[in-house]
Amino acid sequence: MVGEIVIDHVSKSFTNPDGSEVKALNNVNLKVKPGSFISLIGPSGCGKTTLLRAISGLNLQDTGVILLDGEEIKKPGHDRGFAFQQANLYPWLTIEKNISFGLKARGIYKEKKQDVKEYIEMVGLKGFENSYPHQLSGGMNQRASLARALVGHPKVLLLDEPLGALDAFTRMNMQDEILSIWKEQKITIIMVTHDVDEAIYLSDQVVIMTPRPAKIEKVIDIELARPRARGNEDFLKYRTQILKILNYAGENVEPEYYL
């Protein structure tokens, strides 16, 4: 199985317009097993997205190394798919053309055209191929974004809060869609989220990061059978444990939804 990520002593800083330096990542170390589902969770602005973008090759780290199946990541590549919080579809292109855009840019659309059809069907957009993003709901656009990230057959799928802008029930439906895709494609998924319940529901492991400059505070194995019930006693124990580590225990923290 492919898709092993090794993050070894990775640090990253940014320079503000006034010349001051902000350190986003501080000596981050993490090993992600191939085919696993990992969630990164931590305080807002702690560096989760910075780490995800370093894995993608969009913003490389200052020190340390990130390996994908033993090869150092030095630039973006089609072996890593990326889906953002906003769908970021091209409004002037149809759903089919948005999903196939990367394949056309690589010059492999003709031989992969059937794959586009299969992924459109996989994410539940069959019949909407010729629609434009403004004609579809937020959830449907997010499905198209996932299909676009997956159609190149990446080893690793990187998700930067892809469900954050959705309403609660659409979000839960999309969580199940992502799990279905993950099981079928057998790829590694690394997801950034602020939703503790979402992290527990989806993940094999929840990686808790400290406030900036971020490092790994704790990695929690989620040992719950799937499908998972959000109201299950063991599920709630994981929630309490994670909130306590995040220093939210004892506060009136309300979940985003109830079942």
Omega prior to 213 cis, within 30 of 0: yes
Sheet holding 188-192, edge to edge: 80-83, 156-160, 188-192, 37-41, 205-209, 216-221
Give me the sign of the Cα torsion angle 115, 118, 119, 120: positive
- In 33-128, DSSP assigns E strands to 37-41, 63-68, 71-72, 80-83
Structural domains of the chain in order of their starting residue, each with its CATH number? 34-47+70-245 (3.40.50.300)
What pLDDT shows up at residue 44? Answer: 85
- Per-residue pLDDT 10s for the chain (259 aa) are 689 999 999 999 998 888 888 899 999 999 999 999 999 999 888 899 999 999 999 999 999 999 999 999 999 999 999 998 888 899 999 999 999 998 998 889 888 889 899 889 888 899 999 999 999 998 899 889 989 998 988 999 999 988 887 788 888 888 998 899 899 889 999 999 999 999 999 999 999 999 988 899 999 999 999 999 999 999 999 999 999 998 854 444 444 443 3
What pLDDT shows up at residue 13? Answer: 93
What pLDDT shows up at residue 251? Answer: 43
What pLDDT shows up at residue 138? Answer: 87
Helices (H) and strands (E) in the chain, counts: 7, 10
What pLDDT shows up at residue 157? Answer: 96
pTM score: 0.89
Tell me the CA distances in angstroms from 171 to 9, 59, 166, one per residue in order. 34, 28, 6
What pLDDT shows up at residue 248? Answer: 59
